[in-house]
Amino acid sequence: MTIQTQRCTIRDFEPGDIPRFMEYRNDAHWMRYQGYKGKTKEEYEQDLLGDSSLVRGTQFAIIHTTTGLLIGDIYLKQDDSLYWIGYTIHPAFARRGYAAESVTAIMAWIAARVGSIIKAGVLPENTTSIKLLEKLRFSFAGKEDGELIYVFDTGG
């Protein structure tokens, strides 16, 4: 999959992305609200460079179009017409609209694939992510396993 936005390219991970991915994924403070973190380079390579499957869940790289640098990632998991989404932006690129831009593009991609529901789980303390989901018109749907669940209906 490759999706182009105004400032980003969303694509599969490549070997050269791993060191930069590790910069933010292994930063305990930055990743305090995330579950996928603290792995070795070999573990990340196995997870990110192997066969990707939306049914099992997979990470996609968010690449800054101008610089070619990895600036974040998006997780997607498909269950029929339901998609789970997660996202993380490198701290050096936070609060510049890259998450909103990338998630909006993924939402359009899902809708075009006849995905009808998109869900995101977020810890209650992660107010920045909650504000982003609300800005993108996700609706609060309840709480599961300590996470707040937000839902977007694509109308598909």
Q: What domains are defined for the chain? A: 2-153 (3.40.630.30)
- Report pLDDT for 69: 96
pLDDT tens digits, 48-79: 998 888 999 999 999 999 999 999 999 999 99
pLDDT at 114: 80
Instruction: Indicate the average pLDDT of the chain.
Output: 94
- Residue 82 three-state SS: strand
Could you please report the per-residue DSSP string of 17-71? GHHHHHHHHT-TTTTTT-SS----HHHHHHHHHS---TTT-EEEEEEETTT--EE
Tell me the residue type at 36.
Answer: Y
**pLDDT for 124-153, tens place per residue?**
999 999 999 999 999 999 999 999 999 999
45, 14 in Cβ contact below 8 A? no
pLDDT in tens, 8-38: 999 999 999 999 999 999 998 998 988 888 8
Q: Is 81 exposed, middle or buried (0-12, 13-18, 19+ CB in 10 A)?
A: middle
Where do the DSSP E strands lie in 70-125?
A: 70-79, 82-89, 117-122
Strand pairing report for 58-64 and 8-11: antiparallel
Predicted TM-score (pTM) of the model is 0.94
